[in-house]
C-alpha cells in the first residue's frame, strides 16, 4: 500500500502499548497464574499471543485443564486486576496527538482487547477529556485479535471504509487483525520488536509518539526522521 495515499478518513488506536504502557502489569498477572497452575510458555508466545488478545481466549489456550467455572473466575479476576489499578502510565506523546486530532476534526476511535473497566481507568489517567468517537471493547466482539472483527466494527462505528483507516498497534495479534481487516498499520513498540510487527503487516514502526505531529494547515500526520506522512479528510460538516 502506498504510504502517501491521500484521503484517509479515520484513525483507530489500540489501547495497551499504544495509549497506556501496561506491559509489566499484564505479564505480572499472567505469570502469577501460570506459576500457580504449572504452565510455562516461551518468549514468542508472550509477544505473539499474550499481548493484545482478550483474556478469555488466553485462558482457554493456557488453562484447558480448568473447569468452565474456574476459567470464568480467572477471567473475572483479570477484569478486577485491571480495574483496581489507580492509573496507568501514558505512552509519551500520545495525548498531544489525540488533542491535535480532536482540534482538527479528525475522526478517530479506540479498539481494544480489554473490557470497559480497564478503559475507564485509562480515560481517568488521561489529562485531557475523553477524546474517542467510538470505543470497541472485547465484550463487543465474538472473536478476538488476530481476527479482524474488532477493527471492522470500529470502522463501521465511525462510518468509514476500513481501507481508508490508519491503525496504531503494538502487538503481533493486533497488527494481524488490522492488516487482515484492510487497514494501513503503524506498529508502536520497542525497536527489537520492529521486524516482528512489520513481518505480519505493519508498514513501519515507531517507539512512541514523541516524534509524531499533526499539521493543521495540511491535515497531515507526520513522522519525523522517517519522511512518512498521511493526509486526512476532516469529519464532514466540521
pLDDT in tens, 163-206: 999 999 999 999 999 999 999 999 999 898 999 999 999 999 99
pLDDT given at position 230 = 95
In a 13 Å sphere around the CA of 7, the CA atoms on its Cβ side amount to 4
Closest of 212, 174, 170 to residue 188, by C-alpha: 170
Closest of 120, 115, 99 to residue 57, by C-alpha: 115
Per-residue pLDDT at 64 exceeds 70 = yes
Contact between 63 and 74 (Cβ < 8 Å): yes
Least confident of 23-37, 118-132, 200-214, 224-238: 224-238
Burial 138-167 (b: 16+ CB within 10 A, else e): bebbeebbbbbbbbbbbbebbebebebbbb
CB atoms within 10 A of CB 181: 23
Pairing type for strands 135-136 and 108-111 reads parallel
Closest of 210, 237, 234, 238 to residue 222, by C-alpha: 210
Per-residue pLDDT at 48 exceeds 80 = no
**Residue 1's pLDDT band (cuts 50, 70, 90):** very low
Per-residue pLDDT at 2 exceeds 70 = no
The structural domains of the chain, with segments of one domain joined by +, span 10-21+88-231, 23-83
pLDDT (tens digit, 9 = 90+) per residue, 121-152? 999 999 999 899 999 999 999 999 999 999 99
pLDDT given at position 224 = 85
Find cell 483507516 and name the residue.
165
pLDDT given at position 235 = 84
pLDDT given at position 24 = 81
**Residue 6's pLDDT band (cuts 50, 70, 90):** low
Distance CA(102)–CA(96), nearest Å, equals 10
pLDDT given at position 3 = 42
Q: What is the CATH number of domain 10-21+88-231?
A: 3.40.50.1000
**Residue 23's pLDDT band (cuts 50, 70, 90):** confident
- Which of 195 and 228 is assigned the larger pLDDT? 195
Mean pLDDT of the chain: 91
> What are the C-alpha distances in Å from 74 to residues 2, 22, 28, 33, 173?
43, 19, 14, 9, 22
Per-residue pLDDT at 62 exceeds 70 = yes
Amino acid at each position: 500500500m502506498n504510504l502517501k495515499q491521500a484521503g484517509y478518513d479515520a484513525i483507530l488506536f489500540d489501547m495497551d502499548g499504544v495509549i497506556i504502557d501496561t506491559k509489566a502489569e499484564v505479564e505480572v498477572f499472567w505469570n502469577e497464574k501460570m506459576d500457580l497452575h504449572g504452565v510455562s510458555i516461551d518468549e514468542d508466545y508472550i509477544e505473539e499471543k499474550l499481548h493484545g488478545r482478550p483474556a478469555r481466549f488466553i485462558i482457554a489456550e493456557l488453562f484447558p485443564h480448568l473447569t468452565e467455572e474456574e476459567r470464568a473466575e480467572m477471567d473475572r479476576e483479570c477484569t478486577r486486576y485491571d480495574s483496581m489499578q489507580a492509573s496507568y502510565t501514558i505512552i509519551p506523546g500520545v495525548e498531544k496527538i489525540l488533542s491535535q486530532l480532536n482540534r482538527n476534526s479528525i475522526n478517530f476511535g479506540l479498539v481494544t482487547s480489554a473490557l470497559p473497566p480497564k478503559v475507564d481507568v485509562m480515560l481517568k489517567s488521561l489529562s485531557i477529556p475523553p477524546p474517542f468517537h467510538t470505543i470497541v471493547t472485547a465484550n463487543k466482539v465474538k472473536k478476538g485479535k488476530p481476527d479482524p472483527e474488532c477493527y471492522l466494527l470500529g470502522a463501521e462505528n465511525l462510518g468509514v471504509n476500513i481501507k481508508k483507516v490508519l491503525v496504531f498497534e503494538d502487538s503481533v495479534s493486533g497488527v494481524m487483525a488490522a492488516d487482515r481487516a484492510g487497514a494501513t498499520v503503524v506498529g508502536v513498540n520497542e525497536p527489537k520488536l520492529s521486524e516482528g510487527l512489520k513481518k505480519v503487516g505493519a508498514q513501519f514502526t515507531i517507539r512512541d509518539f514523541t516524534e509524531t505531529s499533526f499539521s493543521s494547515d495540511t491535515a497531515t500526520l507526520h513522522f519525523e526522521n522517517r519522511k512518512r506522512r498521511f493526509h486526512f479528510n476532516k469529519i464532514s460538516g466540521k
